[in-house]
A and B are shown apart, each in its own frame.
Chain A
């Protein structure tokens, strides 16, 4: 019974993620209309066959803009997780394996950082280095390092006492080989789940920052920014708000369904 239920949410998650990825990849090469093409005649027109998601206050096609915006959000989240996970893993591996003063200092810093809610830290970073696509990737990427470092570190601390590690040590393997060939592959399950949680947090953080106009800046379209632009037309053109919002929900939901069933 439990097994089957898990499978259903796994496949549902897989389907949602595949659709999102197809949507994003398509948005890189082709959109039905020019996402920035304006038309006075089409201002705030509701969804129709010609414009499936309707048009916005400038007469721009919302479907095309959602495709481009989803691409921005997806890529920002992807690179954020890439930076956070790779640097975090290296730091976590070194501190977990060697311990010592360096480990002690980093962990204290980590404890301090853990007291800051992540959106607050993201805002601090943005106020320091500024807004825009690349700054957001940098800010969120750096922000994500401590959580990966913490997870990988605690895995390394438990795993380094295991017999297979002692065995490799006796065989004369060097530290580098033990850390990255013997121990690291064993952190895979927890690593995968923290990557998918991280991806969700990144999508949420990017769209929140862009909603506050402190994230991705025009001409780059972003789902969060679309929502803030759409809010004044909430009553007259509700479709303008709903489609970008649903896109964000699908991105987050897909990965959390997958993660729950792994």
Chain B
């Protein structure tokens, strides 16, 4: 009974958040200085042509009517037409979205595979030499902007070690293997600073658990170090890390916008940057909304997972 109530509450708040983020995305582009009609028609357009275009685009209606129309169309996958490419925004986004999602997945896999073992290894002996090296490295790597890391990776792995050809992107349809082996490098560029963040977070989460009474009790009962770590501490220490990783995934998705530019990947981020330069607002709006919706859903899933995993939250 309680669980059902809770899930209904969570779903209600999911919808509320979706309404708020879509409203923010929509309203943000209503205050643009300069008339989008004038931009598309040129400054010497006639009075009637402007009026006709405004009517066509539905700009003469109330802002909320336009919001609900836009939202309704967006829900059906119709984001309007690109003013730059003169094709449907949804067509423009289609394949690019899947490329960006692949990049995000590759980065997340790197983060999970590397950061969790490394965090456990470091906190196994706090202030030991492994720990010190890990802490030092996390401190440094967190300070490196991902796009600079991308450039350095291009220099080292692309130009010096020749493990990939910089700028030679393969579409998944061309060759899926080549696509993945290219995407590994931008994936690393995004993942490395995030690995440092997760390691730091996990390490302090484990250290906090090691200080608790139940660990002392387990020790006094004669459990081994490793036994305490794997049977007791990790279970508790990993719970807050899950929420943190959801944040990191959102960040990875956002960072892919910049990394795509560094490696010349024709994904969503590149389209976004180009559309901003071209003042192609329908495309910008659609991409922003899409990214935010993915993030909101991600947070929703993690929130539910969290309820399920953490007994302290479950009782409430």
Contact = CB atoms under 8 A, between A and B. Distances in A.
A and B held together in a complex: yes
A256 interface: yes
A207 B261 CA distance: 14
Interface stretch (A56-64, A119-127, A157-165, A188-196): A119-127
Nearest to A257: B139
Interface stretch (B2-10, B90-98, B287-295): B287-295
A115 B152 contact: no
Interface string B147-191: 110011011000100000010000000000000000000000000
A187 B142 CA distance: 26
Interface string A200-223: 100010011001111000000000
A196 B295 CA distance: 27
Interface in A205-255: 207-208, 211-214, 224, 227, 231, 234-235, 238, 241, 245, 248-249, 252-253
A109 B23 CA distance: 10
B143 A252 contact: yes
B145 A248 contact: yes
Contacts of B145: 204, 207-208, 245, 248-249, 252
A260 B200 CA distance: 12
Given A2-B127, A212-B258, A116 B21 contact: yes
Interface stretch (B80-88, B213-221, B249-257): B249-257
B254 A253 contact: no
Interface in B272-300: 272-273, 276-277, 279, 281, 284, 288, 291-292, 295-296, 299
Interface string A1-20: 11001000100000000000
Nearest to A241: B151
B31 interface: yes
A117 interface: yes
Contact of B284 (A119, A127, A231, A235): A127
Given A112-B24, A211-B261, A256-B139, A120 B151 contact: no
Contact of A212 (B28, B166, B255, B273): B273
Interface in A1-57: 1-2, 5, 9
B152 to A, nearest CB: 7
Contact of A115 (B17, B144, B154): B17
B315 interface: no
A113 interface: yes
Contacts of A118: 254
A115 B258 contact: no
Closest 6 pairs between A and B when the two form their complex, measured CB to CB: A117-B254, A112-B20, A253-B143, A252-B143, A127-B276, A245-B148
B165 to A, nearest CB: 12
B109 interface: no
B154 A116 contact: no
B57 interface: no
A128 B29 contact: yes
Contacts of B258: 119, 208, 211-212
Interface of B: 16-17, 20-21, 23-25, 28-29, 31-33, 127, 139-140, 142-145, 147-148, 151-152, 154-155, 159, 166, 250-251, 253-255, 257-258, 261-262, 272-273, 276-277, 279, 281, 284, 288, 291-292, 295-296, 299
A248 B148 contact: yes
A249 B148 contact: yes
B139 A235 contact: no
Nearest to A238: B155
A260 B138 CA distance: 12
A245 B147 CA distance: 10
A211 B147 contact: yes
B303 to A, nearest CB: 12
Given A208-B147, A241-B155, A112 B251 contact: no
A156 to B, nearest CB: 24
Contacts of A120: 254, 257, 288, 291-292
Contacts of A112: 17, 20-21, 23-24
A169 interface: no
A207 B147 CA distance: 9
B147 A227 contact: yes
A256 B142 contact: yes
Nearest to A122: B254
